[in-house]
Homo-oligomer: A and B are copies of this chain.
Amino acid sequence: MIRGVHHINFLVRDLEEAIARHERLLGVRIERIDELAGRGVRIARFRAGPTWIALVQPVADGEPMRHLERHGEGFFLISYDVDDVERAATTARAAGARTTSAAPRTGLDGWQVIDIDPADAGGVIIQFCEDKAAGSRA
């Protein structure tokens, strides 16, 4: 069911500063900067092999902003690459976990994502992600 790590999100307060730091220390190049208005965030991302590393700056109220206020900068969530996000969520629910939405929500590039409730996942936000573009690349 889990094909890999699709993306990992880190919360940052200052996106430009975080971009500069990652480019300098890791020798990576940010490929894309996007806004995801529904989540109230700006997102810069670079590739680490098949995995996107996303630097996420909350700019409006929403779950990312509340998480930043509560926990500070750092790790936000891990999103596992699956071929069928609804089937993955069904498996998790059948195993006794709640998900934070019944239906998938749409992330960057049309990614379809569903989160397991962190209360049922050891306090970590674990997400399933179905990425048709990546699937067709694989």
Interface residues of A, Cβ cutoff 8 Å to B:
1-5, 8, 10, 12, 18, 21, 24-28, 48-51, 53, 72-75, 78, 80-81, 88, 91-92, 95-97, 116, 120-124, 126
Contact = CB atoms under 8 A, between A and B. Distances in A.
Contacts of A51: 4-5, 51
* Copies of the protein in its oligomer: 2
A88 B26 CA distance: 8
A123 B50 contact: no
Contacts of A72: 123
Given A50-B50, A75-B74, A75-B75, A122 B4 contact: no
Nearest to A97: B25
Contacts of A10: 122, 124
20 contacts: A1-B27, A2-B26, A4-B49, A5-B5, A5-B8, A5-B49, A5-B51, A21-B122, A24-B96, A25-B92, A25-B121, A25-B126, A26-B92, A27-B88, A27-B91, A49-B81, A50-B50, A51-B51, A73-B122, A75-B124
Given A8-B5, A25-B95, A97-B25, A18 B122 contact: yes
Given A75-B74, A75-B75, A121-B21, A2 B126 contact: no
